[in-house]
Structure 1
Amino acid sequence: MSQAREHGSEHWPKRTFTNRGVGSGAAVRKRAAHLAFGTPVLPFLVVGAIVLVDLAGGAGVIWLPLLAAGPALAATTSRPCGVLCVGLLAAAVSAILGTRDAVPGGELTAVLSALAAVTLASALASALRWRRERVLAAVRSVAEAAQHAVLAPIPSSVGPFQVAVRYSAAAAEARIGGDLYALVPTPYGVRMIIGDVRGKGLPAVGTAALVLGVFREAAYDEPDLLAVVGRIERSLARNLGYDDFVTAVVAGYPEPGRLEVVNCGHAPPLHVRASGSVASVDPVNPTPPLGLRALTGEAPSLQVLPLADGDQLLLYTDGVTEARDHGREFYPLAEGLARHVSDEPAATLAALDAELQAHVGGRLHDDAALLLLRKPAVPASADPASEVGAGGDSVAVTVPSPPRPPAAGAGVGCGRVAE
């Protein structure tokens, strides 16, 4: 699939420079920049400031103990060798100033002993900090792999659609959470899902991975979109607890101009017409979330939405619409989409995300996912049947959608137009 382009890298040929003078100068500048970046500047400034104060006031032993602040500060930014260097500098400065100010030998020895103890303790703290940072870097690399496994990158074009995705996890330092999304080209057209798992943390991530795995498998196997939803429901019924559920919207584009939507207790998508008007695609027959069908006995219904050239569809999670500002006002997503809609989905979502972050003051309190699709105009020479195929570098699938009987509860729903 074309998703590989998101991870691949170009292998550029290496150039050999014959001018050794220029190369050596560049190498020296690079080493100097690296050394300057790793140098504990603040500890040296502290030591220098204490020296100036002592030289100006001649207070002697009164200021010398403050030199221990140098290695203590170095422990927060430098490696152990840097801490030892700052400690040695502080000890040398202390000895010189103590001799200059005629500090008694016993008091000077006590100051030097304190500097040595602080330096050694700071070097040990620095070593432990660097060890934790290495472990944290390894954990982050695992989290990055988990992100790509659960929420696979989506290319900028899939089948006939231009696509853009934005995802923000509410947990600090987290890359994934309880929100989920996927978009895959299949022999039955492009199919997509966006959902929100009840709960947070690792259990929510596990449930999201389960839903996405079943969806990706069923989307290729099941000709009918309701059958895809049924596969997910049966899998969740076997694996979730009684109080666990997943709200989701599952959609498919089986043929040109026809978009099928199954809403299972999720926030309704927003349909943006080519004219710029925004409409909420409210479900005709509300359906309970996935995992709760056994409790209600209600089967999901299929909703048909006409999708013309130039139209866009925004799928999102409630972390977006329930985001509040300092005045406890919800973020008006429909109005924001109407303000920022453009012919480039990535630019539209970038503007929406920036406005959302400004609305909440820079920190979301719930996971938020945005998935925007745009149906550009098809050239007159293009074969409309290829619209249901795969996008990117994959070969377009031209298998027509098999005939299907009208689904119960099917209807054309364009919803409410955002005021």
Structure 2
Amino acid sequence: MSAVSRRTQRLMGALPFASLGIVAAVDVLSGPDLNYLSLLAVGSAFASLVGGVRRTVLIGVVALILSLLLALYAGVLGDRQSNMSLISIAGVTAASILATVGRQRRERELATVRSVAEVAQRVLLRPVPRLAGHLRAAVSYTSANAEARIGGDLYEVVTGPGGVRAIVGDVQGKGLEAVETAALVLGAFREAAHDEADLRGVSGRLEKALNRRLSGEEFVTAILVDADPCGRLTLLNYGHPPPLILRANGEITLAEPDDTAPPLGLAVLEVDGPNPHQVDFAPGDQILLYTDGVIEARDRAGRFYPLTERAFLLKDDDPEAALEALRLDLVAHVDAPLHDDAAMLLLRCRDG
């Protein structure tokens, strides 16, 4: 749980007792002519926000005791208004107990669903090899805040007979359905990356797999990479943010294709896929693939994360350390839990 969430929990936990104290103080200071006993029920109402049933009962009992003491102090104990206040407090406490039971049940159900999704996601998103052919690889995956649903970000690196192939993608939507779609894409990619002669063949296999499952309104943005040992990258971009190319001399560019293509899974549009986009990739060069959770992360002022400007953080000789530095900078920029998962895959061409 983040520091912000813990602070919010503490404030919500103190709210019932603070409201009881304020009502009691106001009632005492205003004198016997004005009676605020019925407002003590507010403390019982706030009790259902956090904590368990015992805590809710405790706050209700404290409210009842305060009501009796204040009524005795004002000389109205046993009066009709005093009795109505006691009944109101007891009624609100009973309702808060029921609300607490319902909230705890929903929290358990949500925790179970989230746990299943997280386990499924961890199984799918296995660690990438640190050495893949002539490349060094590192991956970073930052989950969104606890209130957000599990997303469908995906990545994979496969070493085949002709070189290294990689994919980074983002499934539209959240939850277990997104995880299921991500599993379908990764399974098809892992198989096709070994079998197909070129990236168009790989993407064709992905399209077939998705079109058998998706309804036509769902889709997957993705970028596929084929890195051959001759110092060249071939990219296919399906509606995904363009990767960053970081040259050994410090030059930073975006690998934007000449033409755009819709995401995978939208065969209903009957649009041809993208043309392969080739990029030179010499020893010491790097390519950073990422999902939109990175570039759409906002700080407290609403400014997007300036990925291109912060790419100099990837200068560390160790790709994993370099990517971790960038991830920490992203988290510091937001200064709060992320609202969308952020996946990054860094590939670096080795010197030999």
Fold similarity call, TM over 0.5: yes
Other structure's SS at 2:250 match:
coil
Higher relative contact order (CA 8 A, sep 6+): 1
Residue of structure 1 equivalent to 2:236: 263
**Matched residue of 2:149: which SS?**
coil
Summarize deviations over 1:135-174 as a string: whole Å, max 9, x none: 1211211221232244x04358243414133456699612
**Residue in 2 aligned with 1:73?**
46
Letter paired with 1:67: L
Match of 2:186 in 1: 212
1:222-241 mapped onto 2 (5 Å cutoff): 222=196, 224-240=198-214
**Partner SS for 1:175:** coil
> Any unmatched runs of 5+ in structure 2?
1-9, 317-321
Q: CA deviation at 1:72?
A: 1.7
CA distance in 1 between counterparts of 2:34 and 2:303 reads: 59
Q: Distance in 1 between matches of 2:347 and 2:294?
A: 17
Equivalents in 1 of 2:287, 2:116: separation in Å?
A: 33
1:103 counterpart (72, 76, 93):
76
Q: CA deviation at 1:298?
A: 6.6
Counterpart residue identity of residue 74, structure 2: D
Distance 2:145 2:46 in 1: 32
Distance change >3 Å, CA 102–CA 183, structure 1 → 2: same
Q: Is the 8 A contact 2:128 2:156 kept in 1?
A: no
1:133 aligns to 2:107 (yes or no): yes
Where do residues 278-297 of structure 1 align in structure 2 (5 Å cutoff)? Answer: 278-283=252-257, 290=264, 295=270
Deviation (angstroms), 1:214 = 0.0
Correspondent of 2:64 among 88, 91, 94? 91
Q: Take 1:285 and 1:56, find their aligned partners in 2: how far apart are those partners? A: 74
Instruction: Give secondary structure in 2 for the equivalent of 1:76.
Output: coil
Q: Secondary structure at the match of 2:49?
A: helix
Amino acid at match of 1:334: T
SS state of the match for residue 76, structure 2? coil
Map of 1:123 onto structure 2: 97
Map of 1:407 onto structure 2:
none
Instruction: Give the 3-state SS of the residue equivalent to 1:174 in structure 2.
Output: coil
Structure 1 residue aligned with 2:7: none
Corresponding residue for residue 184 of structure 1: 158
Identical positions, percent: 40
Displacement of 1:41: 3.9
Distance 1:259 1:118 in 2: 70
The answer to whether structure 1 residue 303 and structure 2 residue 281 are counterparts is no
Structure 2 residue identity aligned to 1:154: P
CA distance in 2: counterparts of 1:281 and 1:73, whole angstroms: 54
**Equivalent position amino acid for 1:45 in 2:** A
- CA drift of 1:184 comes to 3.4
Note if contact 1:60-1:103 (Cα within 8 Å) is conserved in structure 2: no
SS of residue matched to 1:307: coil
Distance 2:273 2:107 in 1: 51
Query: 1:291: Cα distance to partner?
Result: 5.2
Bigger Cα displacement from structure 2, 98-107 vs 202-211: 202-211
Name the SS for the 2:150 alignment partner: coil
Question: How far did residue 86 of structure 1 move?
Answer: 1.9
Give the Å deviation of 1:275.
Answer: 1.4
Q: Deviations over 1:97-143 (max 9, x none)?
A: 32232215232322222222222122221122112111121121122
Partner of 1:59, secondary structure, is: coil
User: Aligned partners of 1:190, 1:93: CA distance in 2, in Å?
Assistant: 72
Counterpart position of 1:15: none
SS at match of 1:105: coil
Which one of 150, 154, 162 corresponds to residue 127 of structure 2? 154
Q: In the alignment, what sits opposite 2:324?
A: 346
CA distance in 1, matches of 2:12, 2:259: 65
In the alignment, structure 1 segments of 5+ residues that lack a partner are 1-36, 379-419
Secondary structure at the aligned position of 1:279 is classed as: strand
Match 2:173 to one of 194, 200, 217? 200
How large is the Cα RMSD of the aligned pairs? 4.1
* Structure 2 Cα separation of the partners of residues 268 and 298 of structure 1: 16
Q: Work out whether 1:274 is the aligned partner of 2:252.
A: no
SS of 2:248's partner is coil
**What secondary structure sits across from 1:78 in the alignment?**
coil
CA change 1:259–1:81 in 2 (3 A) is same
How many Å separate the matches in 2 of 1:289 and 1:225?
Answer: 15
Aligned positions, number: 332
Residues 230-285 of structure 1, C-alpha deviations (whole Å, 9 max, x = no match): 43244345445567654432223443x53442314444432211111013334478
